[in-house]
Amino acid sequence: MKKFLCVALVAAGFLSVLSVPADAGIKDPAAPGYFVVDVVGERFVLHVTDPDTAETARRILAGELPQMIPVGDLMWGDGGFNFDNGSCYAWHMDPADVRFAEFAVEVCDGRPRSDVQADPTYWVDHLGYFCPWTAELIEEIEKPKRPICIAGN
């Protein structure tokens, strides 16, 4: 009887291991996400909340789609996520508005630090949107932790 009970317990344990869903731990492709973008050596972080855009970003990273241009409205403040190497940006792209495009007008092309951060009043208040033509999605990350921001960086 003891041998049968041990075999039954082992079998029950084995069955419970087999019953783990195949997609356990795999992120929903349409779930919101944070993505690092490189523009000619300057980086910034996008937070994407639109399901179709989030899925597109993940497909770009997986190599299923070519690199595309992130396009979106600019807002004041780092949004709680737009940091680079311990520096805080004075701006962020609106997470609900970001989309990916194959083409964009030249007026919104620029670099995150050398252009947008260097003159945020022009970019955020006057132009209002950003579309860096040479942008490349580098990776998806967890929500970044806010660094200690020093004025002017």
List the chain pLDDT tens, one digit each, 153 residues: 444 333 333 344 433 333 444 444 557 888 999 999 999 999 999 999 999 999 999 999 999 999 999 999 999 999 999 988 778 899 999 999 999 999 999 999 999 999 999 999 999 999 999 999 999 999 999 988 877 766 554
pTM of the shown model: 0.79
Distance CA 144, CA 151 (A): 19
Helix H or strand E encompassing 82 = none
Q: What is the pLDDT of residue 45?
A: 96
CB 126 within 8 A of CB 79: no
CB 114 within 8 A of CB 42: yes
Distance CA 86, CA 70 (A): 23
Q: What is the pLDDT of residue 2?
A: 44
CB 74 within 8 A of CB 80: no
Given the DSSP bridges, would you call strands 83-84 and 87-88 parallel, antiparallel or unpaired? Answer: antiparallel
CB 91 within 8 A of CB 21: no
Q: Where are the domains of the chain?
A: 33-141
